[in-house]
Structure formats: C-alpha cells, structure tokens
C-alpha cells in the first residue's frame, strides 16, 4: 500500500475556531481550500483566499471557482465572495445578486495613481495611463550671438575739510533769598463743670399672697338586703346497708354592700411677689481746661544758584576723498543648444488568451 499524507479536515466553522500549531495545514471541506495555521490566531489563513483571481488555461471552471465574465450571481449562495468584493464590479439586481469582474478580452491593471477606482472596466485604455510612449521628436539647436559691453570709469572726487570756531559761554551766579520766621500766641480755653444730674430711686412693690380653700366630697355607702341560701344533698354513708346522711353541696350569697369614701381637695396657696426699687445715680461732667500756647514758623532760606560757563571745543571735519570707479567691459559668449532627439516607443505586446477565474 502506498504511503499517504493526510491533513486535518473540517467545515468552515470548525476551521475558523481551530488554532493548531505553527505551520500546521488543514482542509476546509466546505470550500475545498487549504488553511495554514500559526498556533496563535484561530482560523489561520487560506492559501487562495475568497476573491483571489487566477489565470486558468482550461476550458471548464473547477469547483469552488467562478468565471470572470461579468455575470450576476446570488448574494446568498456566494456570501463569502460578496463580503469581499461587494458591488465594486456590478450591483446586480440591487438586492439579491451582485456582479463578477469581467475579464473577457481585458488585461489586469493594478490600482494606482492613474487608475484609482477599484472595479473600473473599460473597452480600451490609453497607453499613457500605464506607460509613457511618444513618437520620434527631433528639436533644432539654437546658437546665441556673442555680446561684448563697454567698460565705464568714474572720476575721483576729493572734498575740502571744515574747522568750526571755539565757543565758550559765560557762567551765571544767582542771589539767595532768606524768609523771616513768625511766632504766634494763642489764649487758653477753659470750660466749667456745672452739669450734675440727680439720681432717681424707684419704689419696690410687694404682691399679696393668695390661699385657696380646699373641698372635701361626701362618701356614699350603698345598702342592700343580704340573702344567704345553703343547699343540701343526701348520700349513702355505708356500702353494707342503706344508711344515708345529708351534707351541704352549695352556698349562695345573693345580696351585698359597696362603700365609696368622700374625695378631699386641699386648698392652693400662692405666695406674694416682691419687686425691689431701682436706684439711678447722678451723672457728673468735669470741667475741660486748655492752657495758653504758641506756634513758631521758622524763616525759609533759598541759597544763590551758580551756573558755570560752558566751553564748546572747535570741530574739525577732514576732507572726504572718493576714488573713481572703473567698470570693465562684459563679454557674453554665444550659447549653443544641440538638437534633442526622442526615439519612438513601441507599445505592442505579445499575448496568450486564458480564462480568468475567481475564488468563491
């Protein structure tokens, strides 16, 4: 029996929850796809993921693939593929179907700056959007003429220096002023303390005590006829003969008396309230005396102000000499630009026709 290599097999749901070990392979029996596991991420990854497009040389599309012919297919049946490409290649009927890429008579163009919309399908595409091409173009060279300018030499200019005269001012001295001091006299002020109030003493008040009179109620004693009845019964006194005897078997007291004593309320005594008199002493304001005094204001002395003479030395300005400026002649040689030749680029590509299929 030949040796066989077998892998774990399971449904898509089972593979999605399987972690495995690093490098372990498993078979998805729903999609007939091989999954590679890394030992940490559940589900691993598919070798050919849903939405992957392959060039297929056969005429019959293999299982779990669809032909890229622009057909509209069910969004439910091919839910995995619809989740990947959506309606980028066609909206189908807008609710139940979606469009497949149409690769018939077309080549694959990578998404980029010139072709930035995923799913764009055209009957033709300009070569300039894929690769730059141009026809042969030969330019004409240009040669400029030599130009020689004339130099200019300026004339030197020497100025004459100026010496100013010395100016010495005369100083000024002012005269000081002294004021005269003033001493003033003031008479004292005396007030007499002649305001003494008279104190007032109030008279105390004593209230009269009041004593209430107690009340004693009269007791009541009930009276009733006392009737006592005694019941008797006859019973045998011996078991040998018929001897009998009588005995009391009930006592009934049918009348009795209740006595209610009188209630005595003692008198209430309220003592008298005594309020003592209030005494307010007299208020005396003493006299205020201010003695004679004087104020002295000293004289103000302003000293004389002396301003010294100001001496300004003479200013010497030397003569300014400006040398002549010589500008040499400028010679510009002629510029020669050679003709530029751009060769034509051919965009013709050899080709071989195959089917493009997409993984579901």
Instruction: Give the pLDDT mean for 222-245.
Output: 71
pLDDT at position 333: 75
Burial class, 54, CB count within 10 angstroms (exposed 0-12 / middle 13-18 / buried 19+): middle
Q: Which residue has the higher pLDDT, 344 or 60?
A: 60
pLDDT at position 331: 74
pLDDT at position 271: 73
pLDDT at position 83: 95
Please, are residues 144 and 334 in contact by the beta-carbon 8 Å criterion?
A: yes
Could you tell me which of 125, 13, 244 has the C-alpha nearest to residue 26? 13
pLDDT at position 51: 95
DSSP notation for 108-175: ----SSSS-STT---S---GGGTS-----EEPPPEEPPPEEPPPEEPPPEE---EEPPPEEPPPEEPP
CATH code of 8-47, in short, is: 2.10.10.30
Residue 218 has pLDDT above 90, yes or no: no
| Start and end residues for every CATH 3.90.1340 domain found in the chain | 65-120+354-360
| Start and end residues for every CATH 2.10.10.30 domain found in the chain | 8-47
Banded pLDDT at 161 (limits 50, 70, 90): low
pLDDT at position 87: 96
Q: What is the pLDDT of residues 123-133, one digit of tens each?
A: 666 656 555 55
CATH fold label, 65-120+354-360: 3.90.1340
Burial class, 125, CB count within 10 angstroms (exposed 0-12 / middle 13-18 / buried 19+): middle
Could you tell me which of 68, 44, 71 has the C-alpha nearest to residue 54? 68
Q: What is the pLDDT of residues 246-277, one digit of tens each?
A: 877 777 776 666 676 776 757 767 577 676 77
Instruction: Give the pLDDT mean for 160-186.
Output: 61
pLDDT at position 137: 57
CA distance 246 to 204: 92
pLDDT at position 95: 96
Residue 150 has pLDDT above 60, yes or no: yes
Q: What is the pLDDT of residues 177-205, one digit of tens each?
A: 666 666 655 565 565 655 566 666 666 66
pLDDT at position 18: 92
Residue 341 has pLDDT above 60, yes or no: yes
Most confidently modeled range among 60-74, 137-151, 165-179, 214-228: 60-74
Q: What is the pLDDT of residues 35-85, one digit of tens each?
A: 999 989 998 888 899 999 999 999 999 999 999 999 999 999 999 999 999
Instruction: Give the pLDDT mean for 104-120.
Output: 88
pLDDT at position 322: 59
Q: Which residue has the higher pLDDT, 236 or 111?
A: 111
CA distance 35 to 42: 11
Residue 293 has pLDDT above 70, yes or no: no
What percentage of the chain carries pLDDT values higher than 90?
23
pLDDT at position 75: 97
């Amino acid at each position: 029996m030949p040796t066989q290599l077998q892998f774990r097999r399971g449904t898509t749901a089972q593979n999605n929850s399987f972690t495995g070990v690093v490098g372990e392979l498993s078979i998805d029996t729903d999609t007939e796809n091989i999954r590679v596991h890394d030992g940490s991420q559940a589900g691993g990854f598919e070798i050919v993921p849903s939405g992957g497009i392959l060039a297929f040389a056969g005429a019959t599309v293999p299982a779990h693939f669809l032909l890229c012919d622009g057909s509209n297919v069910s969004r439910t049946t091919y839910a995995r593929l619809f989740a990947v490409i959506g309606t980028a290649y066609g909206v189908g009927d807008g609710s139940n179907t979606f469009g497949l890429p149409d690769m018939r008579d077309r080549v694959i163009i990578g998404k980029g700056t010139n072709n930035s919309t995923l799913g764009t399908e055209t009957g033709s595409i300009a070569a300039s959007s894929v690769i730059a091409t141009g026809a042969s173009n030969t330019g004409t060279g240009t040669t400029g003429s030599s130009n020689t300018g004339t130099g200019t030499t300026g004339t030197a200019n020497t100025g004459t220096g100026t010496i100013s005269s010395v100016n010495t001012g005369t100083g000024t001295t002012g005269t000081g002023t002294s004021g005269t001091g003033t001493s003033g006299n003031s008479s004292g002020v005396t007030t007499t303390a002649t305001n003494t109030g008279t104190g007032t003493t109030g008279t105390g008040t004593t209230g009269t005590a009041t004593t209430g009179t107690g009340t004693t109620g009269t007791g009541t004693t009930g009276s009733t006829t006392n009737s006592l009845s005694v019941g008797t019964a006859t019973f045998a006194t011996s078991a040998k003969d018929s001897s009998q005897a009588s005995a009391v078997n009930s006592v009934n007291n049918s009348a009795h008396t209740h006595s209610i004593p009188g209630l005595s309320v003692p008198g209430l005594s309220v003592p008298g309230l005594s309020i003592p008199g209030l005494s307010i002493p007299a208020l005396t304001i003493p006299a205020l005396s201010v003695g004679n005094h004087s104020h002295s204001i000293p004289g103000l002395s302003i000293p004389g102000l002396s301003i010294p003479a100001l001496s300004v030395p003479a200013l010497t300005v030397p003569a300014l000499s400006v040398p002549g400026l010589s500008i040499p002649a400028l010679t510009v040689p002629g510029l020669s630009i050679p003709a530029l030749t751009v060769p034509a680029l051919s965009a013709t590509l050899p080709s071989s026709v195959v089917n493009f299929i997409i993984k579901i």
